[in-house]
Amino acid sequence: MGRLTELAGLGLRAARQYGAGDGARLAWHLRGPGAAIREIALPGMRHPFAFRPGTSDVATLDQIFVRRSLDLAGFEQQRVADAVIRGMGAKALILDAGASIGPSSVWFANAYPEATILAVEAAPVNIALLERNAAPYPNIVPIHAALWRRGGKVAIADPAAEPWAIQVAPVDDGAPAGLPVVSVEELLEERPGLVLAAAKFIVEGAETAIVEAMPAWLDASPYVIFKPSDWREPWTGSGHAMFSALGRQPSDYIVKEGNLFCFRRPPTIDGAAGRL
């Protein structure tokens, strides 16, 4: 009964988004029985997407492509950010930290076809599918690494977790690193011709290590998306670290499906009137 209830709920959401027929087909392909890996055609996306039925991949695809958790179309802040990013053309760089098997990277690749999307994912269990889903999109660059502070060492903290909830944790200086590590600064230094246009952080508690130095790159990005993970790790301060770093610039905030969107106020916006 639980599975049928989930299928019905997904079907209703998909029908509201895409119509009864397309919504029912999408829900069945996501929740129905099938092989260990399945490909699905997603409305509005240029290429099929591979995922693992019966895993947290289904909930992730539901969030991104049915609930449309990254879609703020209709909000003025998103309209302004989109204009800035598209105006950058091929110089725009979008960082997808915690890319999992690639749904948000694919969303960005379709929304901003000229931008380069860095799909950074630490969990080895997700890498093969991330690379498979990124392959049809020449502007997605999969990076198998944990996003962390420069020079840090980390390992998988919870290898038995669902694919969308795997965390990394620091290891002692004398211990071998369990995973490759990269910082945002290093990613940007390797691509000097590109400009950070947007960043998404779904990093399960790694926020503090990523932004602890109050980086200038965070100030310059037109918008930033993150999902606070304090509910999972009480009193570790990851949400505070992110809000402290983001709060240095005038910004608007919008919440959708648990994601917090931080839009930087452009110089052309009047803070009192809130309009161009």
pLDDT in tens, 154-172: 776 676 666 566 677 767 6
Domain around 14: 2-66
246 plus 119 within the same structural domain:
yes
pLDDT in tens, 190-205: 999 999 999 999 887 7
Q: How many CB atoms neighbour CB 18 within 10 A?
A: 19
Calculate helix-pair angle for 2-18, 20-31, nearest 10 degrees. 140
32 plus 129 within the same structural domain:
no
pLDDT bin (cut points 50, 70, 90) of residue 32 is low
Please check whether residue 125 lies inside any domain of the structure: yes
| pLDDT exceeds cutoff 90 at 111 | yes
- Whether the CB-CB separation of 200 and 225 falls below 8 Å is answered with yes
30 plus 167 within the same structural domain:
no
| pLDDT exceeds cutoff 60 at 1 | no
pLDDT bin (cut points 50, 70, 90) of residue 121 is very high
86 plus 188 within the same structural domain:
yes
Domain count of the fold of the chain: 2
Burial environment of residue 231 by CB neighbours within 10 A (0 to 12, 13 to 18, 19 or more): exposed
Domain at 119, CATH number: 3.40.50.150
- Whether the CB-CB separation of 171 and 178 falls below 8 Å is answered with yes
89 plus 58 within the same structural domain:
no
138 plus 247 within the same structural domain:
yes
25 CB contacts (<8 Å, ≥6 apart)?
none
Percent of the chain exceeding pLDDT 90 equals 45
User: How crowded is the C-beta side of 19, counted as CA atoms within 13 Å?
Assistant: 3
16 plus 127 within the same structural domain:
no
In the sheet with 223-226, reading across from the earlier edge strand, the strands are: 140-144, 116-121, 92-97, 195-201, 223-226, 259-264, 251-256
pLDDT bin (cut points 50, 70, 90) of residue 210 is confident
111 plus 236 within the same structural domain:
yes
Nearest to 48 by CA among 99, 90, 106: 106
- Whether the CB-CB separation of 120 and 143 falls below 8 Å is answered with yes
98 plus 212 within the same structural domain:
yes
Structure tokens at 246: 């983001």
Question: What is the average pLDDT across 50-74?
Answer: 91
Mean pLDDT for all residues in the chain: 85
As a whole number of angstroms, the distance between CA 245 and CA 74 comes to 27
